[in-house]
Amino acid sequence: MIPYGHQHIDQTDIDAVVAVLHSDFLTQGPAVPAFENAVAGYAGAAHAVAVNSATSALHIACLALALGPSDRLWTVPITFLASANCARYCGAEVDFVDIDPRTRNMCVVALEEKLEAASRKNRLPKVLVPVHFGGEPCDMERIGALARRFGVKVVEDASHAVGARYRGTHIGDCRHSDIVVFSFHPVKIVTTAEGGMALTQDAELARLMRLARSHGMERDPVRFMQPPEGEWVYEMQSLGWNYRLTDLQAALGLTQLDRVDAFVRRRRELADRYDRLLRGLPLLLPTRTDGNDSAWHLYVVELDKARPTRSEVYSRMREGGIGVAVHYIPVHLQPYYRAIGFKPGDFPRSEAYYAGAISLPMFFALTDVQQGKVVQILTDSLQ
């Protein structure tokens, strides 16, 4: 089976992880801050907080922004569950903004209308989570301007977008947001097996996220609330978790990051080839936006005829050895979110997109020959 996504591990990755195994620190050693500095430098952020997943990064981002019960977070239905669940961890309400069918990202017009309506009812969200779907940057300039106008904080879920560029700079520089979150799951652009990171330009947000990452433990005597009895003293002033990344993972992340531009370059090449090879088939292909360079985490096509159905095409391709996938089942249609009150029809453009979407194999090591096979089997499956 040719999978839809796959990590690329080379000897430098293996040597880096083995070197940590021979060292004094398997966790809380020098590799984690080195990885944080490398990602912050690459993305153009002042601060980076490494954690054990993007899910944890989204959670500590919401905690740092003081999202709590009686607050609201808005994201899109076409995303992974974690973009919405982070609000629920904090006891906050979730709502969704429908997508723009062209980019599959949060629709800025729908967002503006929804913010205006919410403002009239005094029900504005505290946090907005746009998702760079498939690695294609959202219209952050307009989203950022709307967020400032309505006093809303922005956390970019950039799990797909490590290495993507928006208007000339890397996603991650927080130019139009408070915090940017990356994922290092093996199907994403660069991997640490499990892992994530929260980036920000704001020292105070970074401090709060570091506290939440490690049990809420304060070690700076200047900040103690009680006079310390000795040098061993740490204080817990707020509730925290253990969301730490290990040094093994950070070492892997460092060598992976060395290849991020090569990873994205090959993905872009594969996307261009898919565009050429699929032209003429009854499919909607991903679109490009001037000024954006997608990281091409996903290459999603949409069927634009009723027959064969998506389900038929999906099964035929799987039978043909192509590990296609579907990204994503709209989050509001999951039983957990239906129980909160969401229902089919709430976000029609997300639901229409979902009905026809199929993700084709897209990863660094996919060969031209394998890609040709994907195209052949897709062509046959559409008959």
Ligand X SMILES: *Cc1c(COP(=O)(O)O)cnc(C)c1O
Contact call for residue 80 and ligand X (CB under 6 A) = yes
Stretch that binds ligand X, among 7-15, 80-88, 168-176, 266-274 (CB under 6 A): 80-88
- Please, which residue, 192 or 381, has the CB nearer to ligand X? 192
- Please, which residue, 267 or 316, has the CB nearer to ligand X? 267
Asked if omega into 4 is within 30° of 0 (cis), the reply is: no
| Cα 352 off chain centre by | 22
Return d(Cα 60, Cα 54) in angstroms, integer: 10
- Please, which residue, 159 or 200, has the CB nearer to ligand X? 159
In this structure, the number of other CB atoms found within 10 A of the CB of residue 147 comes to 22
Residue 85 beta carbon to ligand X: minimum distance, rounded to whole angstroms:
9
Contact call for residue 176 and ligand X (CB under 6 A) = no
Residue 62 beta carbon to ligand X: minimum distance, rounded to whole angstroms:
13
Residue 133 beta carbon to ligand X: minimum distance, rounded to whole angstroms:
8
Contact call for residue 61 and ligand X (CB under 6 A) = no
Return d(Cα 77, Cα 349) in angstroms, integer: 10
Contact call for residue 183 and ligand X (CB under 6 A) = yes
- Please, which residue, 20 or 78, has the CB nearer to ligand X? 78
Pairing of strands 283-284, 196-200: unpaired
Stretch that binds ligand X, among 38-46, 154-162, 211-219, 281-289 (CB under 6 A): 154-162
- Please, which residue, 218 or 253, has the CB nearer to ligand X? 253
Query: In this chain, which of 95, 136, 139, 157 binds ligand X, going by CB under 6 A?
Result: 157
- Please, which residue, 6 or 373, has the CB nearer to ligand X? 6
Residue 61 beta carbon to ligand X: minimum distance, rounded to whole angstroms:
11
Contact call for residue 7 and ligand X (CB under 6 A) = no
Contact call for residue 106 and ligand X (CB under 6 A) = no
In the shown chain, the binding pattern of residues 358 to 377 toward ligand X, with x for contact by CB under 6 A and - for none, equals: --------------------
Query: In this chain, which of 7, 75, 83, 192 binds ligand X, going by CB under 6 A?
Result: 83
Q: Indicate the residue type of 236.
A: M
Contact call for residue 130 and ligand X (CB under 6 A) = no
Stretch that binds ligand X, among 8-16, 75-83, 228-236, 310-318 (CB under 6 A): 75-83
Residue 113 beta carbon to ligand X: minimum distance, rounded to whole angstroms:
24
In sequence order, what are the residues at sequence separation of 6 or more whose Cβ sits closer than 8 angstroms to the Cβ of residue 77?
96, 98, 99, 330, 331, 332, 333, 347, 350, 351
Contact call for residue 266 and ligand X (CB under 6 A) = no
Residue 295 beta carbon to ligand X: minimum distance, rounded to whole angstroms:
12
How many chain residues interact with ligand X (CB under 6 A)? 14
Stretch that binds ligand X, among 21-29, 155-163, 259-267, 309-317 (CB under 6 A): 155-163
Contact call for residue 299 and ligand X (CB under 6 A) = no
Contact call for residue 75 and ligand X (CB under 6 A) = no
Q: Name the residues that contact ligand X, by CB under 6 A.
A: 53-55, 79-80, 82-83, 131, 157, 159-160, 183, 185, 196
